[in-house]
Amino acid sequence: MFPRHHLVLALASAFPVLVLADTPSVSLGAVVVTGSRVEHNSFDLPAAIDIVGAEGIGADQVRVNASEALVAIPGITVQNRQNYAQDLQISSRGFGARSAFGVRGMRLVADGIPASMPDGQGQAASFNLDRAERIEVMRGPLSSVYGNHAGGVIQLFTKDGKGAPTVEGNFSTGSYGTWKIDLASQGEVGGVGYVVDTSRFHTDGYREHSSVTREQTYVKLNFSPDADSKITVLANSFNQPMAQDPLGLKWDTFQSNPRGVEPVALLYNTRKSIDQTQGGLSYERRFGQDSLSLSVYTGQRSVTQYQSIPRAIQVITSATPENSPNRKSSGGVIDFDRHYSGFNGRYTAKRDLAGGVLTTTLGLDLERSEDDRRGYENFIGNTLGVKGNLRRSEEDRVSSFDQYLQTEWQGERWGASLGVRHSQVEFEVDDHYIAVGNGDDSGGVDYSHTTPVLALMFKASPVLNFYVSAASGFETPTLNELFYSGPNSSFSYSLQPATNKHIEAGAKAFVGASSRLDVAIFQVRSENELVVASSSGGRSSFINAGQTLRRGIEVAFDTRWQGGFTSRLAYTGLNAIYDSSFTSSAGVVESGNYLPGIPRSTLFGEVAWHHQASGFHTALEAIARDKVYVEDKNIQQTAPGYAIANLRFGLERQYGALNLKGFVRIDNLFDKQYVGSVVVGDTNGRYYESAPGRNGLLGVSARYSF
């Protein structure tokens, strides 16, 4: 583990010097809207927040996975599972690390439209990184003002169409049969700004049985009816006809054949298809210093997933007893159609008060999703990996209604923020599959919670800010966590939401005229933490544990050197443990055990050089992570710690109206074999998901301005 106490002492000793530093010539931080929901300087926001701009999102990448852009953010762990059937594994200060697929424990938002459903489950795959202008990432107590599952908040913002029309084409190709083509146009015609983007991505995958093809389309229109208002229309689609699912590996298999799969993945041809479309409309209007924001959205998502649930625990014969778990099985094929919609509204007022500015925001969020969900056997006779008999048919509805009030006062030296949010989340199930030994599982459960947030900031000097913040947050079970957590893998109406108390203290400082340092220390105490009871064949069940405790430190240090050099250092130290013992299907989990899926230390470093005159740039990245436990008892083989290096370089030239770019990227430069992510609590011992060895990517692009 990294010498955390030495780092803290060094930072503390630097602060007296920082107070005396001159006001820097660099910007005091990017403008963000995360947290306060109004434009705010990140340097003056009492929260741990980072911004990744368009250059960082591109960063000589294929722009398919958010992990490419977020790897340099402290406190955020984003693991590319090398499995496009299960999406990325994203956690913030450990929240979300246990997710077997998709993103939970974090709030995802794209252009004001939630990418997280009302139950808290989200998908980062639908993020359109090609046209992204910036990504804002917030951790800590202020995340709680976003309600359920807001252990952290990731917001993506797409640029508005403006100026002279441009057309652009991008093509990249690399290892493992990977390629992507992207075509786009943006500009402004007749007062209407537009952005249009379409892309197609394919890879054969690093591992056996891991190929995927994805298609994305994005359209954004914006116009201003008058000087004080703006209307934005969004539409996008995401289509993944089939993504093969290689599942996790047992430790022996990982060591002997990291690119392989366990036989069961091939036996049942595990795979997943997704088709999603959504659209939204937002209206913003200013009334002097005040503003009103309204938005509505709707979408549809269809998913079919073939799992590796063994035939033997599904099959029913004339001799199968009525009380057999086989009769309760929902099969090995998940098939659902989801319709979702929502409304967000807020009014923000600014007033002068006591020598400062008081900003108050009053808002409400309405969200709803409805699933027509079916389950089928994954066999017909002795043929496996096909859609067989119906074993499940139900309608699942989730709705949430949140009201919130946020107010902040900013004076010359002091600032204070106060927020309160009331959330109500309702789950309803209408069971239409009732058979012998499989009764009516219809029912419902409601959760509600009030979330207070408080933060204080002190400006010690123009180049040094200190802050403290505290909040109470909560996480309801998601639909997927409720589905198989009841008796005999039925729907559970007894799981309780996890609640937490989150406190943070931090400092933000400029060192000289070209460096910025951000430091945050935090503690999170949770009750009724939702943990994996068992996980097998892509299906997990959950229970409420006792108390958990997370303590950590996050550090980010950025510098612009002379001669076109820049550097970034980001460190996370996180001690996440069970603070009380509990009993799961695996036995007694002792107090003091580490939460699985969470590295205790993570370090990112980058040195980049840009030669302005020639347009050439290059960068060397280094990533190091500590070992990761894979289950609650901490007795199975851990995913070992590792350190890797990545190298990239590129060239950009302008020829009149034509802009040309090209890049080469080499990841895992020294061909390190390591576990990239883990499947927490897998009952079959398939915990380990291999990361690629040395691999390369080549990309070219051309943009023409009319």
Q: How confident is the model at residue 414, as a pLDDT?
A: 95
Q: How confident is the model at residue 12, as a pLDDT?
A: 35
Q: Where are the beta strands (DSSP E) in 354-492?
A: 356-376, 379-380, 383-384, 390-410, 414-431, 443-461, 464-475
pLDDT tens-digit series, residues 199-228: 999 999 999 999 999 999 999 999 999 999
pLDDT tens-digit series, residues 155-164: 999 989 999 9
**Which of 527, 552, 637, 548 has the alpha carbon at shortest distance from 591?**
548
Cα torsion at 39, 40, 41, 46 (round to 10°)?
-160
**4: helix, coil or strand?**
helix
Q: How confident is the model at residue 98, as a pLDDT?
A: 80
pLDDT tens-digit series, residues 173-185: 999 999 999 999 9
Residue with tokens 């945050």: 520
Q: Which domains occur in the chain, in start order?
A: 4-705 (2.40.170.20)
How does residue 530 score in pLDDT terms, banded at 50, 70 and 90? confident
Structure tokens at 203: 């890879």
| CA pair distance 573, 552, nearest whole angstrom | 5
Query: What are the angstrom distances between the C-alpha of 66 and each of 76, 78, 127, 171, 233?
Result: 12, 8, 8, 19, 24
| CA pair distance 16, 509, nearest whole angstrom | 11
pLDDT tens-digit series, residues 256-279: 999 999 999 999 999 999 999 999
What distance lies between CA 703 and its chain's CA centroid?
Answer: 30
How does residue 105 score in pLDDT terms, banded at 50, 70 and 90? confident
Residue with tokens 């303590």: 551
DSSP 8-class letter at 149: T
What is the longest distance spanned by two Cα atoms in the chain?
84
Pairing relation of β-strands 498-511 and 675-678? unpaired
Q: Where are the beta strands (DSSP E) in 14-100?
A: 31-32, 40-41, 48-53, 76-79, 89-92
| CA pair distance 363, 343, nearest whole angstrom | 11
Write down the mean pLDDT value for the chain.
90
Tell me the CB-side half-sphere exposure of residue 706, using CA atoms within 13 A: 12
**280: helix, coil or strand?**
strand
Higher-scoring residue by pLDDT: 655, 487? 655
| CA pair distance 477, 99, nearest whole angstrom | 12
**Which of 529, 454, 533 has the alpha carbon at shortest distance from 499?**
529
How does residue 7 score in pLDDT terms, banded at 50, 70 and 90? very low
Burial 691-700 (b: 16+ CB within 10 A, else e): bbbebebebe
**482: helix, coil or strand?**
helix
CB-count burial class (<10 Å; 0-12, 13-18, 19+) for 501: middle
Q: How confident is the model at residue 17, as a pLDDT?
A: 35
Give the mean pLDDT of 606-614: 95
| CA pair distance 547, 581, nearest whole angstrom | 8
Least confident of 443-457, 481-495, 542-556: 481-495
Residue with tokens 């603070």: 579
What distance lies between CA 430 and its chain's CA centroid?
Answer: 30
Cβ proximity of 168 and 159 under 8 Å: no
Give the mean pLDDT of 162-170: 95
Pairing relation of β-strands 107-110 and 113-114? antiparallel
Enumerate residues 6+ apart whose C-beta is below 8 A from 263. Answer: none
| CA pair distance 468, 455, nearest whole angstrom | 6
At residue 311's C-alpha, the angle toward residues 310 and 315, to 5°, is 135
Query: What are the angstrom distances between the C-alpha of 133 and each of 48, 55, 149?
Result: 20, 9, 25
